Structure 1
Amino acid sequence: MSQQELACDVLIVGGGLGGVAAALSACEAGRKVVMTEETDWIGGQMTAQAVPPDESLTIESTIYGTRRYHKYRQAVRAYYRQHYPLNRQAFDNQHLNPGGGWVSFMCHLPRVGLEVMRSMLLPFETMGLLDIKYMVKPVAADVDGDVVKSVTVKDVSGRDREFVINAKVVIDATEVGEVLPLAGCEYVTGTEAQSEHGEPTAPSEARPLNMQGVTWCFAMDHVDGNHVIDKPEGYDYWRNYEHTFKGAPKGLTFAWQDVVEDNMDSDRNHMRLEWPRPEEGRSELCSWWGYRQILDPSIFDKNIKWAMDCGGSDPLLPGITMVNWSQNDYYGGCVYEVDDAEHHKKMAKQLSLCWFYWMQTEAPRLNGGVGYPGLRLRGDVLGTEDGFAKSIYIRESRRIKAAFTLTENHISQNVREEQGEAERFWDSIGLGQYHLDLHISTEGDSSCFVPTYPYQIPLGSLVPIRMKNLIPACKNFGTTHLSNGCAREHPIEWNVGEVAGVFADECITQSESVQGLYGNKEKVAALQSRLVQEGVKLDWPAIRMPR
């Protein structure tokens, strides 16, 4: 095996959303950066995992999201205006939602997100500040006491090579905190006991392997004809699967129909697809086709024939949608910390494929028929041949044992009803806003929803209790199983990653450990001032948020 040794100021292991943000801020500070990525796509949950951005209602305003994150969002819109045949209404819409999905104000094709991120990083690659190593995975770390000296990454594409990367600061931006066990960094997995942090929703006993379910997302559209795939392996198993949570129907029919209360009438039954259009008088939001739609043909100029031909007999509907629904959440086992992790990843993809086949062949239709044979997998928009995202979407990571842990008690509306706001932190380095949303877990916990207040992200949650030059930059910072449910979303991961890059630069400049800088309030204040200058918001407007 060939081995190459590299040296840099900042090593970013993992090219996900937090990794990209960290690379931007560190390179803008003039640091020499090496970033590694296990796939051939950077961008993580936004691109390789194909999850349209989960964002709050305030994201379109100027009070939430970092300047660099908003630069990314506007660059995505600009990409569509420059390269796609938009009609005048769409072109002039400053709040253009290219995909038209209702989970976000800016659903878009993962490939577009990839191109934008690559273009944002390209100047630093050109100037020699950034070196991105694709298709490599961390396999070892050289640690001297409490300092990570280097990380070894091994090629996963079939080439017999590895890189030993020496760095002054190491940033773990992997999806499951892969550097933490390699470096011997203290970390937590799964569900903490209530006694650890006093969280009212936590169980009485810790369950380290009780993690939120994962999802292998796929893209699909619908055109004329019969596009039914071969019956997948394991279909009979999943079709008759006995769910472990209370009140669940058997098999793949889970949540195909929802009872939704609308303002027009009493509760009604609504299909997930409402194909081909919602019935008259029924809310379009009840159709889950539009939930994570990433291509909306209605934004195109009708006079551009090639654009209109892509939609079959009904070119304005339905475009392309991403399937990241409750039906293809996999909670049969953990995808890290266990010996059979790869088996569970395979099963997660198998479940998604079986779910797609069930929609093609057995899903009840509004007209009384069954199946949607015109559904097609669209791997071309995901950079794959099988129709699936390049990587599995993992909601919950290993989490560092941090100098300060963000918990349910700091953000829950139920806990902090009297205060009317989340707890304020002296060391705020950013903002988060999302409800505490937990999916069905690997040990049978039902989904959980806890309303939260908009909150601050404390710097202490990025500081390991011991390791002096290791910084988290993904879902691996100091949260709990519960608070992770409102801290894993796209703008929050970006914020954490962006700050990690600045934090790394400050530690190098001042020859400080992460604990040393964090322990000096004057230096923390200086870091905060710098973050504000670079467009990171540290506080919410002084208002009492409604319950």
Structure 2
Amino acid sequence: MYEMDCDVLVVGGGVTGVAAATAAARTGAKTILLESKPFVGGNATTGLCLHNYITKFGRQVVFGIAQEIVDRLMKMGGAVGHIPFGGFVHSVTPVDGEMFRILSTQLLDEAGVTVLYGVNVVGAEADNGHVKGVQVAAKGGVRTIRAKTYVDASGDADLAVFAGAKYRKGDKKTGKMQPVSMLLRCYGVDTREIANAIAVSKPAVATRPDFADPFPVYFNGSFRQWNDIIRENGIFPNDDHMVFFNTVWPNQINVNTSAIAGIDGTDPLSLSHATVKLTQHVAKIGEFLKEYVPGFQNSYYIPAAFAGVRETRNIEGLYEISDEDVNSGRKFHDTIGQICFPVDIHDPDTGQARFYEIGDDGAFDIPYRAMIPKSLENIIVAGRCISATSYAHGATRNMAPCLVMGEGAGVAAALAAQQKVSMPELDVKKLQDTLEERGVFLGERGKRTTFTS
């Protein structure tokens, strides 16, 4: 048994936590990052696209560490940039999952972050909203880590809830949450043949310096032409099942189409059940693709190592991002960045995806207040568990917004620790100036004349 201490403790090593810990350490804070898995990078390591950097009108609004990651991945061969799509979004940003994991590890190491793997938060010492320490279960027993400020990037608001934060879980009326999915990665494919057979709109096409010809890197489709086979074999619960494909390679592809409903991502038994069922389900999908879908005939496949959770808890923050904020593209005086990916809701019963556009100029602000739990002093929450309605959560939960929130939270936590102020008392103007200096806003904030209080 031993104790550790630091300036900033970040809980969760997904995309949000990677950005938060990197940003905090770059701001001069002694930073520790806790991650329950044996790797960092979260859902991006499965190969999912980093949705979304560019509005429906073609204006890029996501920069900072999020853009730095894309730039560095391109040099590594693990990204192809922001590629025009013309479907339900203007552009897409596909990445290679394993290279994202490698780069995430490098970013944290370069910044001087201490990363502890295989660690779960199991409790918190809190006094009148001030967290004094966090209990973690790690190899060797339960240990205590103490920090001046804390970033909850767990996705489930684990630390905030242990410290006493109130929250909503799932839909406010029904309690239902979006289904849990598992990505399927297929090798030895012909992406052009797949797109020709199944795409319902023109694919996003890119090139690589190590391959001669352009190839599709993102497209969506429907299994409509195989409805009889799917129904007979019980592969999906509905006809015309939607499927999303992405890649940065002409001979590899990620398949996003599985879903299992009724899973509570905060319940270890429920999530373990989902992992068992989804691993078998995506293997069944893999066999179906090999047998019936052109371009997969010579492929082999690997299920992702874990299930992806879309929705669990959302904290009650000093401000809740509302449906109207999204629909009107609202701008806030305490913004720390913007979101431009449409509201993406997978039906809790069927798993079918529906998209709803963001209003006004195609982007809305992330207010700092939505990241601060009510009645807590030294915790900031970032990622999909921030304060937002279930509808707004459909936009806030995606990975580009999570990278933006992570960077903002990391800088905020470092500044609060250095200035010895609580998170609600932090000078937001100073935070915004720091983020602007780092290229997060690229001057956009200074051009604005209208904000919502």
TM (norm. structure 2) is 0.80
* Structure 1 residue 55, shift from structure 2 partner: 1.7
Contact 1:190/1:207, CA 8 A, preserved across alignment: yes
Change (3 A) 1:60 1:154: farther
* Structure 1 residue 22, shift from structure 2 partner: 0.8
Contact 2:180/2:263, CA 8 A, preserved across alignment: no
Distance 2:105 2:249 in 1: 30
* Structure 1 residue 450, shift from structure 2 partner: 2.0
Distance 2:269 2:187 in 1: 36
The one-letter amino acid paired with 1:529 is: D
* Structure 1 residue 276, shift from structure 2 partner: 5.5
The residue aligned with 2:334 is 427
Where do residues 356-395 of structure 1 align in structure 2 (5 Å cutoff)?
Answer: 356-361=286-291, 363=292, 365=293, 373-377=297-301, 387-395=302-310
- Greater strand content: 2
Change (3 A) 1:212 1:37: same
The one-letter amino acid paired with 1:437 is: D
The one-letter amino acid paired with 2:316 is: K
Distance 1:337 1:285 in 2: 36
* Structure 1 residue 11, shift from structure 2 partner: 0.5
Q: How many residues align?
A: 407
Distance 2:14 2:157 in 1: 12
**2:255 equivalent among 323, 331, 336:** 323
Q: Which runs of 5+ in 1 are unaligned?
A: 85-89, 193-205, 225-272, 303-315, 378-386, 417-421, 518-522
Change (3 A) 1:216 1:4: farther
Distance 1:27 1:317 in 2: 33
* Structure 1 residue 478, shift from structure 2 partner: 1.1
Distance 2:333 2:49 in 1: 32
Change (3 A) 1:182 1:532: same
Contact 1:214/1:394, CA 8 A, preserved across alignment: yes
Give CA-to-partner distance per residue, 1:403-455, whole Å, 9 cap, x none: 0011111121xxx4xxxxx222111111110111100115x686443221311
The residue aligned with 1:43 is 41
The one-letter amino acid paired with 1:323 is: V
The residue aligned with 1:109 is 96
Q: Which runs of 5+ in 2 are unaligned?
A: 213-247
Change (3 A) 1:423 1:154: same
Contact 1:297/1:319, CA 8 A, preserved across alignment: no
**2:159 equivalent among 179, 185, 199:** 179
Distance 2:72 2:339 in 1: 22
Contact 1:180/1:187, CA 8 A, preserved across alignment: no
Give CA-to-partner distance per residue, 1:38-72, whole Å, 9 cap, x none: 1122111211x432212243599884112222111
The one-letter amino acid paired with 2:188 is: H
* Structure 1 residue 323, shift from structure 2 partner: 1.4
Is 1:440 matched with 2:335? Answer: no
Contact 2:315/2:387, CA 8 A, preserved across alignment: yes
Distance 2:446 2:181 in 1: 32
Distance 1:423 1:301 in 2: 43
Contact 2:54/2:62, CA 8 A, preserved across alignment: no
**2:117 equivalent among 120, 134, 145:** 134
The residue aligned with 1:66 is 63
Is 1:461 matched with 2:370? Answer: yes
Distance 1:117 1:516 in 2: 31
* RMSD of equivalent CA atoms: 3.4
* Structure 1 residue 7, shift from structure 2 partner: 0.4
Distance 2:23 2:56 in 1: 21
* Structure 1 residue 543, shift from structure 2 partner: 12
Where do residues 251-290 of structure 1 align in structure 2 (5 Å cutoff)?
Answer: 275=193, 278=196, 285-286=199-200
Give CA-to-partner distance per residue, 1:72-99, whole Å, 9 cap, x none: 111011112xxx9xxxxx9xx9x587xx
The one-letter amino acid paired with 2:289 is: M
Distance 2:250 2:67 in 1: 28
Q: SS of the counterpart of 2:436?
A: helix
The one-letter amino acid paired with 1:132 is: V
The residue aligned with 2:396 is 487
Contact 1:50/1:389, CA 8 A, preserved across alignment: no
Contact 1:213/1:395, CA 8 A, preserved across alignment: yes
* Structure 1 residue 298, shift from structure 2 partner: 6.4
**1:31 equivalent among 29, 32, 35:** 29
Where do residues 168-317 of structure 1 align in structure 2 (5 Å cutoff)?
Answer: 168-192=148-172, 206-208=173-175, 210-222=176-188, 275=193, 278=196, 285-286=199-200, 299-301=209-211
Change (3 A) 1:528 1:286: same
* Structure 1 residue 542, shift from structure 2 partner: 6.7
The residue aligned with 1:198 is none
Where do residues 510-529 of structure 1 align in structure 2 (5 Å cutoff)?
Answer: 510-517=419-426, 523-529=427-433
**2:409 equivalent among 470, 495, 500:** 500
Distance 2:94 2:164 in 1: 38
Distance 2:255 2:109 in 1: 31
Distance 1:56 1:468 in 2: 32
Distance 2:120 2:72 in 1: 30
Distance 1:300 1:391 in 2: 31
Change (3 A) 1:63 1:102: closer
Q: SS of the counterpart of 1:164?
A: strand
Change (3 A) 1:349 1:540: farther
Distance 1:40 1:180 in 2: 23
Q: SS of the counterpart of 1:486?
A: helix
Distance 2:4 2:317 in 1: 29
Change (3 A) 1:21 1:153: same
* Structure 1 residue 529, shift from structure 2 partner: 1.9
Larger radius of gyration: 1
The one-letter amino acid paired with 2:412 is: F
* Structure 1 residue 528, shift from structure 2 partner: 1.8
The one-letter amino acid paired with 1:75 is: R
Is 1:121 matched with 2:108? Answer: yes
Change (3 A) 1:446 1:375: closer
Contact 1:431/1:539, CA 8 A, preserved across alignment: no
Give CA-to-partner distance per residue, 1:374-428, whole Å, 9 cap, x none: 2301xxxxxxxxx22233211123111000011111121xxx4xxxxx2221111
Change (3 A) 1:428 1:542: closer
Distance 2:448 2:439 in 1: 19
Distance 2:188 2:201 in 1: 15
The one-letter amino acid paired with 1:133 is: L
Q: SS of the counterpart of 1:340?
A: helix
Contact 2:35/2:115, CA 8 A, preserved across alignment: yes
Give CA-to-partner distance per residue, 1:211-270, whole Å, 9 cap, x none: 11111112102369xxxxxxxxxxxxxxxxxxxxxxxxxxxxxxxxxxxxxxxxxxxxxx
Distance 1:406 1:214 in 2: 23
Change (3 A) 1:389 1:4: farther
Contact 2:131/2:378, CA 8 A, preserved across alignment: yes
